[in-house]
Amino acid sequence: MGRLVMKFGGTSVANIERIQNVARHVKREVDAGHEVAVVVSAMAGKTNELVAWCTEASPMHDAREYDAVVASGEQVTSGLLAIALQALGIQARSWQGWQLPIRTSDAHASARIVEIDGSEIVKRFGDRKEVAVIAGFQGINPETGRITTLGRGGSDTSAVAIAAALKADRCDIYTDVDGVYTTDPRVVPKAKRLDKVAFEEMLELASQGAKVLQVRSVELGMVHNMPIFVRSSFDKPEDIDPHGTPPGTLICSEEKIMENHVVTGIAFSKDEAQISVRRIEDKPGVAASIFGPLADANINVDMIVQNVSEDGKTTDLTFTVPASDFARAKQTITSAQDKIGYARFDSETDVAKVSVIGSGMRSHAGVAAQAFAALAARNINIRAITTSEIKFSVLIDAAYTELAVRTLHTLYGLDQV
């Protein structure tokens, strides 16, 4: 007997039939003797619909009221799943974020979890054998008493945080894929599902473009050492042995992985824009005059390359921002031209970032050099490079993204993992 948190995303609860399928998954774990809390997202497409309604009502809407509206999607799903579980003879009740409560900051639409009180749910596990069906993505700011939401993908974050608060044995993330793959199978048909991935590797995969898990959920898992199991909700519930290991990927601490591959996976993102600020006077404070205003505008800067001229008097700064922030980044920099003192502003939006990730890089030399040679052999030009202990990323023309991913996937033997 264990304690599980099961999280189901929007496609898993897209209609009543799928909600009833989710109820059978939950029943399987309850019948196996587990204490179960379930975290649900809104039904597929509902959050987008609610967001559109807010924008239609007023493009400059109040963020507090926006949260009140968009949080209702998860409220509907949690109630429907509780009803479906009761129809199967399972004791269950729905919980909204404010009822636990899940206490958050007051940053509406992007709040961060501060504290979760799971004591009442744990008490009901013992007293009533009751399944808790919790609305993900939402909480409450204790100072204002207002509903808050955690940002898109926040249900994953809710689930891992609740698992930590309940001292669960594991957090199962049910989604429309059956685990984490070496890269996107739609791009590389030979991509393989990974049995285990270290938290640190998954954090890099998620932040560099892999869409399976939200970055903050992986961060929470790593901080609280909470194992996360990514698995498919579309497997037939009755075909799964609750005491066995179903298909999926376990995200866990590195110590639980016997042997690290040199490269674990290839991630990519086409949501990139490249900006070059040229012929700036090379003196202290110039970088701060560029990146300070971008930080104030909440624009995340990723890859940064600086080239100093031969005479040492001027420099060029090249960096990337999310494509969705490009217009704001351009306006922020051009409006500060007099302060920065640059001669030319260049940009390119048709670029992509390809990242190679693996804990084994720590103990193997020449991993990046192999990639550079392989890409050159394919006539793929590298615009910028960044590296960390277990990852390196290259910025290339977007037209070569798929070719680069397939080339690197084969280069590091991931076709045969």
Predicted local confidence at residue 394, as pLDDT: 95
Q: Helix, strand, or coil here: 16?
A: helix
Q: What is the pLDDT of residue 176?
A: 86
Contact 274, 385 (CB under 8 A): no
Provide the 10 A C-beta neighbour count for residue 71.
Answer: 25
> Mean pLDDT per 10-residue run, the chain (417 residues)?
93 96 96 96 96 94 95 98 98 96 94 96 95 97 96 91 97 92 93 94 86 89 96 86 84 82 92 91 86 89 82 85 92 89 91 93 87 96 91 95 97 87
Task: Could you list the residues known to form a binding site, using ranges.
Answer: 7-10, 47, 74, 175-176, 181, 186, 211-212
State residue 285's pLDDT score: 86
pLDDT at 236: 83
pLDDT at 311: 66
**Residue of 380, 383, 360 whose CA lies nearest to 371:** 380
- End-to-end, the C-alpha distance of the chain in Å comes to 33
The model's pTM is: 0.87
What the chain holds in terms of domains, given with CATH numbers, is 3-255 (3.40.1160.10), 266-416 (3.30.2130.10)
115-142 core/surface letters (b: 16 or more CB in 10 A; e: else): ebebeebbebbeeeebbbbbbbbbbbbe
At 298 the pLDDT is 83
Binding residues for substrate: 47, 74
What pLDDT was estimated at residue 32?
A: 93
Would you state the pLDDT for residue 310?
63
Q: Which residues of 388-417 are buried (b: 16+ CB within 10 A; e: fewer)?
A: eebbbbbbbebebbbebbbbbbebbebeeb
- DSSP per residue, 219-253: HHHHHHT--EEEEES-S-GGG--TTS--SSEEEE-
Position 318, amino acid: T
Q: What is the pLDDT of residue 182?
A: 94
Binding site members for ATP: 7-10, 175-176, 181, 186, 211-212
Q: Where are the alpha helices (DSSP H) in 42-133?
A: 46-57, 63-70, 72-87, 119-128
